[in-house]
Amino acid sequence: AEHARHDLGYQTDGVVIKVDPLADQSELGFTSKSPRWAIAYKFPPEEQTTRLIGIEVNVGRTGAVTPFAVLEPVFVGGATVTNATLHNQDEVARKDLRIGDTVIVRRAGDVIPEVVGPVASLRTGAEQTWKMPRKCPFCGNPITRAEGEAVARCTGGFDCPSRLREYLAHFAGRGGMDIEGLGYKTIHLLLSEGLVTDPSGIFRLRPEDLLGFEGWGEVSVGNLMTAIDAARDRPLGRLLTALGIPLVGGTVARTLARRFLSMETIMDATEEDLGAIDGIGPEIVASIRSWASDPGNRALIGRLAQAGVRLGDPQPEGVDRSVLAGVTVVITGTLDGFTREGARSAVEDRGGKVAGSVSRKTTAVVVGESPGSKAVRAQELGVPILDEAAFSRLLAEGAGFLEQA
């Protein structure tokens, strides 16, 4: 198969080997993550050599400064590669990469460009070692590296245009405030024209700020304004995720939102308050406290409030917030009366958890239209399977309903 891949009329990075008889598939079943009757075999990635022209840096949304290789264009794994991440300063030193080297390049998983290392035997002596810049090339502020950390960081905050661009893309992205139409191209326009200097500026945009720019007519501007207005009322968990607090992803953000209900309460929460929450350990507590105590972050929250962004969730009326305590639910398929996020919130608002895979610890699996393999896995493990009507009863009555069913 590995040799035959080059004779195919399309790109492939491997094969999946399956047990063919359906009866045998059913008997073998699934683990919590994958079928026991199938396994993927990935081909070794293709490698080519090219010249390392230079090493430059990017600044991400957290201020992390990441070096990347500038390469003479090379065709590898079905694509022309000109750049590849080098991760951090220690990785450059570990691989002993020098500007001017002939290097081996591959696409990890046939997707992500990667510099494997230099071809040391081809060195001429003219190659140059690389050091992390002392100042950010985008804003001129110092680059520092905390003791014990592999990552160097720009200290410029939102004064760094590279960091601000990446931060705004994260803030407005699907995992954050989900502002449709606010992608990299639009963010570049907003920054280059000085229309936005931090996330709160998004919510201060007026139609006249954009009308007249190429590609921006009344319809496109109106659509963006509508999307921005809708984002003002996003749930607190989404806002917390959008803010990019280190170690606070979607699950932790929703947990904080359910526990505290408002941004103000979270900002003022003590280490004891945070540490008492199940699933939030000392590192996350320290990260939240550090972020919340930063005057710049507090000022940003104030500006978001002034721009009309909702900073809290209402207390769910008539909801017993502990009725599903200790209950773990898996949801598969499409439900008529709930979106996927709405079903998750309904469980979590009542103290339960929503898991992504079925195990013996799963309390119940909620099955909608066109369910996936999770329903089969639930049958194999003897986990209760609920339709939408039974799910509604579970939300109202709690786990005791399952004992009656």
Q: Where are the domains of the chain?
A: 4-42, 47-155, 158-231, 236-306, 328-404
Q: Do 236-306 and 158-231 have the same topology in CATH?
A: yes
| Lowest mean pLDDT, pick from 318-327, 349-358, 380-389 | 318-327
The pLDDT of 66-74, averaged and rounded, is 98
For residue 63, the model assigns a pLDDT of 94
Alpha-carbon distance 43 to 321, whole Å? 50
Of 91 and 25, the structure prediction assigns the larger pLDDT to 91
Per-residue confidence band for 405, with pLDDT thresholds at 50, 70 and 90: low
* The predicted structure's pLDDT at residue 2: 66
160 closest CA partner among 63, 85, 57, 295: 63
**Angle of the 388-397 helix axis to the 340-349 helix axis, nearest 10:** 20
Q: Output DSSP code: residue 155.
A: S
Name the superfamily (CATH) of residues 158-231: 5' to 3' exonuclease, C-terminal subdomain (1.10.150.20)
Q: In the predicted model, what is the mean pLDDT of residues 72-96?
A: 94
Max alpha carbon distance in the chain (Å)? 79
Quote the tokens at residue 274: 């945070």
- Distance between alpha carbon 223 and the CA centroid of its chain, in Å? 25
pLDDT number for residue 314:
83
pLDDT in tens, 190-206: 999 999 999 999 999 99
Q: From the CB of residue 108, how many other CB atoms can be counted at a distance below 10 Å?
A: 12
Say yes or no to pLDDT of 80 above 90. Answer: yes
Cβ 205 vs Cβ 195: under 8 Å: yes
pLDDT at 318 over 70: no
Predicted confidence (pLDDT) at residue 28 exceeds the cutoff of 90: no
Provide the pLDDT for residue 241: 97
> What is the percentage of the chain residues whose pLDDT exceeds 70?
97
User: Is pLDDT larger for residue 211 or for residue 108?
Assistant: 211
CATH of the domain spanning 4-42: 3.30.1490.70
Average pLDDT, the chain: 92
The whole-model pTM stands at 0.73
Strand duo 38-42 + 143-144: pairing: unpaired
pLDDT over 70 at 65, yes or no: yes
Average pLDDT (132-139) is 97
H helices present in 110-217, as ranges: 161-172, 184-192, 207-210
Q: How many residues does the chain have?
A: 405
pLDDT of residue 26: 83
Q: What is the DSSP string of 27-56?
A: HH-B-SSSBTTEEEEEPPPPEEEEEEEEEE
Q: Taking 90 as the threshold, does the pLDDT of residue 126 lie above it?
A: yes
244 or 77, greater pLDDT: 244
CATH architecture, range 328-404:
3-Layer(aba) Sandwich (3.40)
Task: Return the closest-CA partner of residue 307 out of 394, 228, 403.
Answer: 228
300 confidence band (pLDDT: 50, 70, 90): very high
Q: Which comes out higher in pLDDT, residue 77 or 19? A: 19
pLDDT class of 45 with cuts at 50, 70, 90: confident
Does the domain at 47-155 match CATH 2.40.50.140? Answer given as yes
Architecture of the domain spanning 236-306: Orthogonal Bundle (1.10)
For 72-98, what is the mean pLDDT? 94
